[in-house]
A and B are shown apart, each in its own frame.
Chain A
Amino acid sequence: MSLTELTIADAASGLRARKFSAVELVRAHTDAIAALNPRLNAYITTTADEALKAAQQADDVLAKGEARALTGIPLGIKDLFCTNGVRTTAASNILKNFVPPYESTVTANLLRDGAVFVGKTNLDEFAMGSANITSAFGPVENPWKRNGDDAALVPGGSSGGSAAAVAAGLAMGATGTDTGGSIRQPAAYCGIVGLKPTYGRCSRFGTIAYASSLDQAGPMARSVRDCAIMLQSMAGFDERDSTSVNCDVPDYSAAIGRSLKGLKVGIPAEYRAEGLSAEIAAAWQQGIEWLKAAGCEIVDVSLPHTKYGLATYYIVAPAECSSNLARYDGLRFGERVPGDTLDAMYEATRRAGFGPEVRRRIMMGTYVLSAGYYDAYYLKAQKVRTLIRRDFTEAFGKVDVLLTPTAPTPAFAQGEQSDDPVQMYLNDIFTVPASMAGMPAMSVPVGLGATGLPLGLQLIGRPFDEETLLATGNALESAAGFTHRPAIRAEAAK
């Protein structure tokens, strides 16, 4: 089997068994990037030379028998994680030349465990978007094609570059961040697994903020087990992030293959929403059958405030972003456009530095926090958020995990939904509620739709119960036997 088709788990055993070297493994990926990235645009910055050096060191470590969980494994890093000495752009012009002198906690954890970074993956600017079309470095192309149609499809967003890279074999796994669905929705669009952990599970230190109360880093990979391996490394308390939670990190891989007998799986009625495509409804029903067969008990539940999720999200997230992005003012780092006065410099810098979607969200956020509107918007949204969280808490009194679709449709073509921002926002209708509630959630590919595109189902768990997500996700994965590969991929390009 080609090195770019392996799972992380298999590659780790292969490296230990000396079936191939870390240099060979990493080179296979950097070559694939060189070949395919000009088309897919999954990476903003590639670091082949540094990666090959790191691979040589990994081979030394392997030779000494001191390998750690990710030694020699090539990963892509979403370009929202600050990486020491490597340009970090947030896919924005305002940071297009920013080289942080520090490492984010999540990437530092991965490096500690031996991972090799092959580059910084593309994303929607400042993680704001659902199709990876707002990047200042251009859109990412989804490696999947509709049957008999070469139209460029979107990979989803905002972690579209990470999803496309993992799907196409340009990385064995990648980091993502998820604020309202930015790991799960692109994972579904690209036919890979994406896990958004519980808010507070992974440190936010060194990750460029979009909406602080929602942002959460997580793994994206080609199998549930690979997500478990990556999360093991990424998760943990960090005293530099006051919102990270100090609780033990369990052995996530141990959850894989766990029996699901008697596990109660909730099916929320409100997710049978308008706009849910027939093929996704069918995949959902298939998922229910598979879990039944695995010994789960299926329970109908209600999450009555689901319908307010998206509206609430589009108040809270822009409010926080309008404040979080104030630091990009051209003064201390990043790009500066001169002006005659301080205010003129701010205006010119931020007009040139931010794209339309970022500007739109800053304006929405500024508006909802303004005197006279705060109570009607932000305060009301916080109250609704509490109700959404309560919906989940009540549901988890009855069931152990929830099963829903990840997105209402499969991937769409570039340009198809981009003229109406609200239509675009609807892509996140199923992922936003779990984000608002801080619950862990995962998207698992379960099959192909009528046009040959991957379909994902979402599992939502109790806070800090990523293990049940992994166990259930693994059961779906096994039952689905999802082995489909996209049209554009490293192996096929040879």
Chain B
Amino acid sequence: MTYTIEGKTGAWEIVVGLEVHAQVISHSKLFSGASASYGGEPNTHVSLVDAGFPGMLPVLNQECVAQAIRTGLGLRARINLESRFDRKNYFYADLPTGYQISQFTHPIVGEGTVEIELADGTVRHIGITRLHMEQDAGKSMHDQDPARSFIDLNRAGVALMEIVSEPDIRCPEEAGAYLRKLRQILRYLGTCDGNMEEGSMRADVNVSVRKAGEPFRTRCEIKNVNSIRYVMHAIEVEATRQIEVWEDGGEVDQETRLFDPSRNETRSLRSKEDAHDYRYFPDPDLLPLVVEQEWVDALERGLPELPDDKRDRFVKEYGIPRYDASVLVAEQAIADYYEEVAKGRDARLAANWVTGDLFGALNRTGRTITDSPISAAALGGMLDLVSDKTINGKIAKEVFEDMLETGDSAAAIVERKGLKQVTDTGAIDAAVADVMARNADKVEEYRGGKDRLFGFFVGQVMKAMAGKANPAMVNEALKKVL
């Protein structure tokens, strides 16, 4: 089913490609020894190289290259054993050397693919055109003084990976799914923290529209969108704008636009005529980057299990539904938590508890899996009590809530509250007899054919036994006497 937007002249398809800038996790910057860490007082993480002092030269940071290769491998992409660095020349106050070192013609990573899954279960493959390394610029601050601008070079020279997708995305939902998946892969790999609010991952969105079967029409680029939700909004808003332009007999200009979330519109930033001529040329301070296949192989061997592989393994190994598996592998920490709970236990039951009660509890308490109030071992301990029939499912919910509140172990709570399940047939039979005696009319109705009253009797017996009776045994006892 193709996503379309209805215009005056009929249905329009949208075509989207994304350029994601992902800040590389590394100790130091791409070409200098200065710290690459976020925060810090302005201009405290700046070397003479970053500040572009006369005679300073860039020296490539090997760890950043390793991170780019790991990411390429994670995107199932071709690793180019030879790549090059170019200079992208433009003047701006937060660009100390007057050029950004980037990989223009020969990126380190070539074509790859990202598998996304939509809400209706559809699986799509989004092509990756390339991934290249480049330097970040510094930060201009125009709001500190009425007359002057201030520059913070802490970020100048920090390594970025620009990940460019093919124009394979056809609706906002796919764009969202792609970005979430990309972020998930980067986080699994430990190559980017994917934190869009802090700007360590940001997206440029290329949007065009067309009628079914047409070749691509002119695209516009929406720069620097900093949340997944905004990307999805921006696509819809921009596509709608373009459709109006075309339908009014106009022509969409190739230009760079900005998305304004407060007004839910995109605005022209600069047209193609005003586009910078970046005068790219190979950086003569850096030799071509040549990496050995053996090193790439070693990096590949060191990669963690990636989310798609983990999901498939969960389905196979734990026999849980694909949807549950997808939810559980969303984050490495969740997957690890689940595996600790599931190991040697009823894996389906474990999945239900993690995705159900645990996620609910985390939501309510505003916690994440890494600071979960109930550890995987504690939740496993509770499931053990369910499996060995010490408690039943209903009591388990009560125990879980208690664990959440007190942090006590399930066993301690069961002990303290005397919640151990009753499996004494004598006590159950007695409770059954008592309920029958007090509800003789209902017994008559049941025997007269009103089958659904059976649930009522079960409830009455469980209530009489404070919920602690073994439900299967209650069923059996009731069937016998009824």
Contact = CB atoms under 8 A, between A and B. Distances in A.
Interface stretch (A70-78, A201-209, A278-286): A201-209
Contact of A88 (B51, B54, B284): B54
Interface stretch (B93-101, B413-421, B433-441, B468-476): B93-101
B55 A104 contact: yes
Interface string A219-255: 0000000000000000000011111000000000000
A242 B89 contact: no
Contacts of B93: 331, 342
Given A242-B287, A327-B96, A371-B277, A346 B57 contact: no
Contact of B89 (A81, A212, A342, A369): A369
B58 A327 contact: no
Given A323-B99, A327-B98, A332 B281 contact: no
A242 B48 contact: no
Given A327-B97, A327-B98, A371-B277, A320 B284 contact: yes
Given A88-B54, A370-B279, A326 B284 contact: no
A190 to B, nearest CB: 26
B162 to A, nearest CB: 20
B52 A327 contact: yes
B55 A208 contact: yes
A327 B57 contact: no
A82 B54 contact: yes
A98 interface: yes
A95 B56 CA distance: 15
Nearest to A90: B54
Contacts of A209: 54-55, 285
Contacts of B99: 323, 326
A219 B151 CA distance: 40
Nearest to A378: B281
Nearest to B60: A242
Interface string B84-121: 00010101110011110000000000000000000000
B89 A333 contact: no
B81 interface: no
A366 interface: yes
Given A243-B285, A374-B281, A323 B98 contact: yes
Interface string B365-400: 000000000000000000000000000000000000
Interface string A304-329: 00000000000000011011011101
A47 interface: no
A213 B99 CA distance: 17
B38 interface: no
Nearest to A327: B52
Nearest to A204: B57
A100 interface: yes
Contacts of A243: 284-287
A20 interface: no
B53 interface: yes
Nearest to B31: A242
Task: Tell me which of A90, A243, A319, A327 has the highest count of chain B C-beta atoms within 10 A of its own C-beta.
Answer: A327
Given A90-B54, A239-B59, A319 B281 contact: yes
Interface string B69-89: 000000000000000000101
B52 A213 contact: no
Nearest to A365: B279
A429 B93 CA distance: 39
Interface string B25-52: 0000000000000000000000010011
Contact of B91 (A88, A206, A346, A369): A346
Size class of the contact patch on chain B: 20 to 34
Interface string A95-115: 100101110100000000000
Contacts of A212: 284-285
Contacts of B53: 100, 102, 327, 332-333
Contacts of A366: 279
B284 A208 contact: no
Contacts of A323: 87, 89, 98-99, 279, 281
B54 A100 contact: yes
Interface string A352-394: 0000000000000010011100100010000000000000000
Contacts of B87: 323
Contacts of B55: 81-82, 100, 102, 104, 204-209
A41 to B, nearest CB: 22
Task: Tell me which of B52, B98, B151 has the highest count of chain A C-beta atoms within 10 A of its own C-beta.
Answer: B98
A209 B93 CA distance: 21
B288 to A, nearest CB: 11
Size class of the contact patch on chain A: 35 or more
B277 A370 contact: yes
Contact of A213 (B57, B277, B284): B284
Interface string A115-149: 00000000000000000000000000000000000
A298 B277 CA distance: 51
Contacts of B277: 370-371
A329 B91 contact: yes
Contacts of B48: 101-102
B286 to A, nearest CB: 5
B51 A242 contact: no
Nearest to B286: A242
A184 B48 CA distance: 32
Given A102-B48, A327-B54, A240 B59 contact: yes
Interface string A62-90: 00000000000000000001100000101
Nearest to A98: B54
Contacts of A327: 52-54, 96-98
A325 B52 CA distance: 10
Given A208-B54, A240-B59, A242-B59, A329 B98 contact: yes
A90 B281 CA distance: 25
B57 A205 contact: yes
Contacts of B281: 319, 323, 369, 374, 378
B282 to A, nearest CB: 8
B54 A332 contact: no
A78 B117 CA distance: 64
Interface string A449-473: 0000000000000000000000000
A207 B53 CA distance: 11
Contacts of A346: 91
Task: Tell me which of A209, A211, A323 has the highest count of chain B C-beta atoms within 10 A of its own C-beta.
Answer: A323
Contacts of B91: 326, 329, 343, 346
Contacts of A100: 53-55
A314 to B, nearest CB: 16
A303 B89 CA distance: 35
A323 B285 CA distance: 12
Nearest to A371: B277
Contact of A326 (B89, B149, B151, B280): B89
Task: Tell me which of A90, A333, A366 has the highest count of chain B C-beta atoms within 10 A of its own C-beta.
Answer: A333
A353 to B, nearest CB: 13
A242 B151 contact: no
A89 to B, nearest CB: 10
Nearest to A200: B287
A325 B53 CA distance: 11
A470 B284 CA distance: 29
Contacts of A370: 277, 279
A343 B277 CA distance: 16
Contacts of A81: 55
A378 B86 CA distance: 14
A104 B56 CA distance: 9
Interface of B: 48, 51-60, 87, 89, 91-93, 96-99, 149, 151, 277, 279-281, 284-287
6 contacts: A95-B54, A206-B56, A207-B55, A240-B57, A322-B89, A323-B89
Given A366-B279, A370-B277, 14 more contacts: A204-B55, A205-B55, A205-B56, A209-B54, A239-B59, A240-B59, A241-B57, A242-B60, A323-B281, A327-B52, A327-B97, A327-B98, A333-B54, A374-B281
Closest 4 CB pairs of A and B: A326-B98, A369-B279, A213-B284, A212-B284
